[in-house]
A and B are shown apart, each in its own frame.
Chain A
Amino acid sequence: MLNEATLQQVMGAVLNVPPSAIEPNSSMDTIKAWDSLRHMHLVLALEEEFEVAIPDEEAANITSYALIKLVLQDLLKSR
């Protein structure tokens, strides 16, 4: 199962905001620091933290908390 507290902490650390600022409706549009560069760091950090390989086609598209959660849950389930 996906530990959402961990997800919030990783996203907070990479996007340089408090983990509590990461909410269900957070996305590239709501978090100012979340640009394409930070997004790359975020993908790297998520892969490392959850020990998954995010497929290339997903990596560019998971630009919201909800989408990240969905993709990670799928990856963790199929492991």
Chain B
Amino acid sequence: MTTLLAPDPLSILGDPGASLSQIMAALTNFEEAGQATRHASVGLSSNATIELLGVFLRKHAALSGVQLTVHQGNFDDPIGDINRFRQGSVEHLVLLPVFDALLPSFEAQLGHLSPESVAAKEAEVIARYRLAFEQASGFRSVFVSSFHRLSSSAEPAAKDAVDASIERLDRALREAAAQFPNIRILDLDAVVTTLGRNAAFDGRFYLRNKAPYTTGFLNELARRIAATSRGFGSYFYKALVLDCDNTLWGGTIGEDLLAGIKLGPYDYPGNVFWQVQNEIAALERSGVLLCLCSKNNPADAEEVFARHPDMVLRDRHLVLKKVNWADKPSNLREIAAELNIGLDSLVFLDDSPFECGAVRAELPMVRTIQVPAALAEFPRVIREIKELFLAGGVTEESRSKTEQYRQRAAADVLKSQFSSNDEYLASLNLRVELSRDAEASLARLSELSQKSNQFNLTTRRYSESDMRRALDCPDTAVYSLVVGDKFGNAGLTGVAVVRWNADTAVVEAFLMSCRVIGRGIEFAIWPAILRDAAAHGCTRIAATYSPSAKNAQVADFWERAGLSPTAAEDGICHYGAEIAGFTCPPTPWIEVIRC
């Protein structure tokens, strides 16, 4: 019961395991604390007892930041309810006629009623709901449930009288509803299928209180109503912004190269990403704007989209590409500005907890979704993303807007940019464990030197025996970096090899995994390394940058670090500085731990 006392009602409401009384208490707290950013109202009208649907609607509204006022209608009086709700300026309406309650135990009666009596009842129901739809045309949205059966058929191979009647009524109601743009049909059969019949209905309370549905059913129905209403009008997403590595394909293009990334229809895990790309391409067809926001060399990403044989997504699907080394919040701001849509219209998908955390912290209005660590969960997450865009309905005119937006974006001038990035970094509790000559990590040190392409100043590859020699050499220090933050530990993700050559500390190699760059770690380690060098009699530091096909992003690294260019030959740039008085850009948000 301790959760009842927990301070944040939203975390209770977001917990699928919360009990009914916990949800009720949390809703009271949420509403009394005035935490909502919007208010909305809904009226419920049914021929069954669905009061608890109101509780779950309030729950799902609260999760979208909306405080929902629920008005309960009278029993089986849709026309009267609609008139009362209209007078009370209620915005949304749920009409939930339960088939079995159209007449007492209608399903049981149907097997022996005369066709004329059945036809007469059906005609009455259709006429009543047609009138209800007309009278409800002033509501912002009207959710009408489809008919479903409570009992399963005793003749599973054939359609019985209940199936036939439900089919006729459903067709008639859907036809009537199609004339009103504010009406959305809720497919209750789909809810029953999701939960299973036994988990959907509770016979005890149906016979006694005319309440056929379990709390599980009502919760799922409420979730769908909230999704269909776009969080009761609290969001309208237009663009899906995608990371590349480990989001659209498995692996890192800059490291694994075109042949090494995982993507394709047949083999795990490439088939997960391939399936995801198919789903995303379908979203584009429905009018969702697709953008890239990826920390990569533009040419590397271009190559995948142009040349990988199993890419489903191609250039023509994308309206905007931000493939660069700038921080993601800045890129998202640019995307919103160039597309001329609000940041609250963006859904951002990325595999990195760091990037997702940065966007959530700086741009809470962006809906940020992380690729699940368990890859088998990815298709389910994609389904949730599809629902964010599609549950509210797709109009014909919004389909394939990509071309139109692409042209507008091309004409727009880039702007924006301001940085609370440092503040965000400070919140991460970043730490680097800096070890010297960590023998136990020999294999990983060698592997990293051979795999890292992008953040690699000299692209000097060390076989295991090369690395062994460096570790054993008394005048050479091999530094390994184990990077961690409040999200967890990224492991050994950086290496620096420094040779103490008389009075000069020569940086033979410096490389980092691109998973951890952009947080200042590349600067934070140098004061400690230079203290070691000074202790070994060095007074100068010397370093080089050797250009490769992949490492353009670090071309100016040594200058940014505070070294001065000393010479350049055959494209290799040399840098140096006196150790005394040398200062790296400060990184007060990083704790460097010597191990």
Closest 8 CB pairs of A and B: A13-B25, A13-B21, A10-B21, A13-B24, A45-B21, A45-B20, A48-B19, A6-B1
B21 A37 Cβ-Cβ under 8 A: no
Is there a chain A Cβ closer than 8 Å to B204's Cβ? Answer: yes
Chain B residues whose CB sits within 8 angstroms of the CB of A37 once the complex forms: 49, 51, 209
Which residues of chain B from 28 to 52 have any CB-CB distance to chain A below 8 Å in the complex? 28, 49, 51-52
Chain A residues whose CB sits within 8 angstroms of the CB of B20 once the complex forms: 14, 41, 44-45, 48
Q: Residues of B with Cβ closer than 8 Å to A? A: 1, 4, 19-22, 24-25, 28, 49, 51-52, 204-205, 208-209, 211, 215
Interface of B is mostly: helix
Summed over the interface, the residue pairs from A and B with CB atoms below 8 Å come to a total of 50
Measured between C-beta atoms, what is the minimum distance from A39 to chain B in Å? Answer: 9
Q: Mark A1-31, 1 if CB is under 8 A from B, else 0.
A: 0010110011011101000000000000000
Give the residue name and chain of the A residue nearest to B205 (CB): A40
A14 B24 Cβ-Cβ under 8 A: yes
Interface CB pairs A-B, < 8 A, 8: A9-B1, A10-B21, A13-B4, A44-B52, A44-B215, A45-B24, A49-B21, A56-B204
Tell me the bound Cα distance from A10 to B22 in angstroms.
8
Q: How large is the interface on A (under 10, 10 to 19, 20 to 34, 35 or more residues)?
A: 20 to 34
Measured between C-beta atoms, what is the minimum distance from B593 to chain A in Å? Answer: 45
Is there a chain B Cβ closer than 8 Å to A71's Cβ? Answer: no
Chain B residues whose CB sits within 8 angstroms of the CB of A16 once the complex forms: 24, 28
A9, A16, A40, A49 — most chain B CB neighbours (10 Å) = A40
Interface of A is mostly: helix
A59 B204 Cβ-Cβ under 8 A: yes
Which residues of chain A from 38 to 64 have any CB-CB distance to chain B below 8 Å in the complex? 40-41, 44-45, 48-49, 56, 59-60
Give the residue name and chain of the A residue nearest to B203 (CB): A56
Chain A residues whose CB sits within 8 angstroms of the CB of B215 once the complex forms: 44, 48
Q: Pick the contact of A40 from B1, B22, B28, B211 — CB < 8 Å? A: B211
Q: Pick the contact of A5 from B1, B51, B208, B211 — CB < 8 Å? A: B1
Tell me the bound Cα distance from A51 to B432 in angstroms.
47
Tell me the bound Cα distance from A13 to B22 in angstroms.
7
B19 A40 Cβ-Cβ under 8 A: no
Measured between C-beta atoms, what is the minimum distance from B299 to chain A in Å? Answer: 57
Chain A residues whose CB sits within 8 angstroms of the CB of B24 once the complex forms: 13-14, 16, 45
Chain B residues whose CB sits within 8 angstroms of the CB of A73 once the complex forms: none
Give the residue name and chain of the B residue nearest to A56 (CB): B204
User: Given A9-B4, A13-B21, 17 more contacts at CB 8 Å?
Assistant: A3-B1, A10-B21, A13-B4, A13-B24, A13-B28, A14-B21, A14-B24, A37-B49, A40-B209, A40-B211, A41-B51, A44-B20, A45-B19, A45-B20, A48-B19, A48-B215, A59-B204
Measured between C-beta atoms, what is the minimum distance from B52 to chain A in Å? Answer: 6
Q: State whether A60 and B25 are in contact (beta carbons under 8 Å apart), knowing that A45-B19, A48-B20 are contacts in the complex.
A: no
Chain B residues whose CB sits within 8 angstroms of the CB of A45 once the complex forms: 19-21, 24
Chain B residues whose CB sits within 8 angstroms of the CB of A59 once the complex forms: 204
Tell me the bound Cα distance from A13 to B208 in angstroms.
23
Chain A residues whose CB sits within 8 angstroms of the CB of B211 once the complex forms: 40
